[in-house]
Chains A and B, each alone.
Chain A
Amino acid sequence: MISKAFKRSLWVFHVNSGSCNGCDIEVIAALTPRYDAERFGIKLVASPRHADVIAFTGPVTNDMADKVIRIIQQTPDPKVIVIVGSCGISGGVFHESYHLAGPIDRLYPNAKYFYVPGCPPRPEAIIHAFTKAWEWLEEVEKK
């Protein structure tokens, strides 16, 4: 299973769509030596056009809504999105705010979503979500 799953490296584009930085530092912590996601080939890239998966942290603020949609459109198909943190899933502590454009899955429903609840989630949970996304991508590839 592992040899199959880790056949290729998974490239991730990370977007902060109005997060408090809590999830962002955990995403970076997942890449640095203690958790070391890079040993699996999971790597942050600087352009959405290079990415297999997009990781969003934070609720989507009104200012970021159009940028978020543009970024999703720029990534190649199939569009796989990992939402890191509770506030990206439901708004979290920020729900009902006047400046939120709503959860990403409502802004852009035509994508495969993986959710990592937690405020912030632990680095292990973040890596787990990426491996889930990976398995899903491989199943799609088989079809």
Chain B
Amino acid sequence: MKHDYEISVGPIHPALKEPIMLRVTLEGEEIVDVDVIASQNHRGIEWIGMNRNNVIQSLYLAERICGICNFCHPSNLVMAIEEIADIEPPERAQYIRVIQGELERIHSHLLWAGVAAHELGFDTLLHYVWMVREKVMDVLEEVNGNRVTKAIIMYGGVRRDITERHVPKIRKMISYYREAFGKLAELFLEDDTIKKRTRNIGVLKKKDAIKLAAAGPTARASGVKKDVRQDFPYFAYPDFDIHAITPDELIGYTIGDVYDRIVVRLLEVKQSLEIIEEALNEMPSGEIIYEKKLVKLMAKIKNSEGEAVARYEAPRGEDIHYVMLKKGYEPLYSWKVRAPTYINILSWRPMLLGYQIADIPIIAASIDPCLSCTNRFAVVKNGEEKIMSGEYFHKLSVEKTRRIK
């Protein structure tokens, strides 16, 4: 006789993820229903931006919406306010912004690749990928002065220039990653174990991806050719030849499973390297900021009125900020953030339905959620509650990998 199990996953996870709760209904091993309960990570950022902070302080607050994509949120805010206040950033600043954005994409995708390997129980690969990732962290530190949060973007430009001193280091990083790419591609795409755990697992059909408005690599892995950098280019992106990457470029066809999401992210790292190289070659000289004096800049923004929407292709997908300013009002009058994970979370449902518990970690991680996934959970069976640890859950995943071997 079959029982319906209900498993609450989260909200506390031991590894590196943010708190979120998944309620999964099971029939035997098979997942039949999924519900997502969020809000554990709500910090009231929009409220702070609209009440406590002035516009420039909000820039640094926007950086702390997400520590991994800490360039895309302030970029969105900057783009929206530049549009309202009619600020034209110099050309060189636009190129530096492109380089910063792509460096962030490399670091974020590599971080994800490590996490994905960990979810499969392949910890050697996690350590290898994170070791490779340290190279881009070094460059970020060299250019920005800090490893993670950058504080580089400012209304009307950037705060620090990329000088002659930095260029050789960035070029060295590019050639390092070109070499490492072959090995990474071989480890992720040719390995039998990874293939078996990711091929035809967590399939998101193109139709579903469009219906659920999935964004970024999640959508592209299902064959939807959308990329804000290609469709609505911002910063200096119009100067570059960017196309949305879909997995058929490398393997000839698209399934929309976890494997395809790995392919897309790997190819995007390669694409980012090309963009950075081109940007370094073609970067014009000149000013890097529209107005150096912050007080003057503040006054200009404070005297503008209007509303704007900004879109940015973050590593996880399309990020949108809506901003409204009112004359004489120091904080933002209205601020709405829509991060890519918001919409990508919806695609968990079609991805998870019909698969096994042991597949939850890798499927949940495959959209690169800014918050996820699986730890302590209670199994409610005939009204009795039994707590299982995330260790057990991780063990299930590792065991499945072994079984397949």
Contact = CB atoms under 8 A, between A and B. Distances in A.
Interface of A: 13-29, 32-34, 44-47, 58-59, 61-64, 67, 71, 87, 92-94, 96-100, 119-120, 122
Interface in B39-64: 39-45, 47-48, 52, 60-61, 64
7 closest cross-chain pairs (CB), A and B:
A22-B67, A32-B130, A46-B391, A97-B44, A21-B67, A20-B67, A33-B131
Interface in B126-142: 126-128, 130-131, 134, 137
Contact of B48 (A15, A29, A87, A97): A97
Nearest to B47: A98
B375 interface: yes
The bracket for how many chain B residues form the interface is 35 or more
Given A63-B39, A93-B60, A22 B17 contact: no
A119 B131 contact: no
Interface of B: 11-19, 39-45, 47-48, 52, 60-61, 64-68, 70, 111, 114, 126-128, 130-131, 134, 137, 147-149, 370, 375-376, 389-391, 394
Nearest to A122: B147
20 contacts: A16-B18, A19-B67, A20-B64, A21-B370, A25-B16, A25-B148, A27-B16, A34-B131, A46-B14, A46-B394, A59-B43, A63-B40, A64-B11, A67-B11, A71-B12, A93-B64, A99-B42, A99-B44, A120-B147, A120-B148
A25 B111 contact: yes
A15 B15 CA distance: 8
Interface centre among B43, B48, B70, by most chain A C-beta atoms within 10 angstroms, is B43
Contact of A46 (B40, B68, B147, B389): B389
A24 B17 CA distance: 8
Given A16-B18, A93-B48, 11 more contacts: A16-B12, A24-B67, A33-B134, A47-B389, A61-B42, A62-B42, A64-B11, A64-B19, A71-B12, A97-B43, A99-B43
A140 to B, nearest CB: 25
Contacts of B43: 18, 59, 61, 94, 97, 99-100
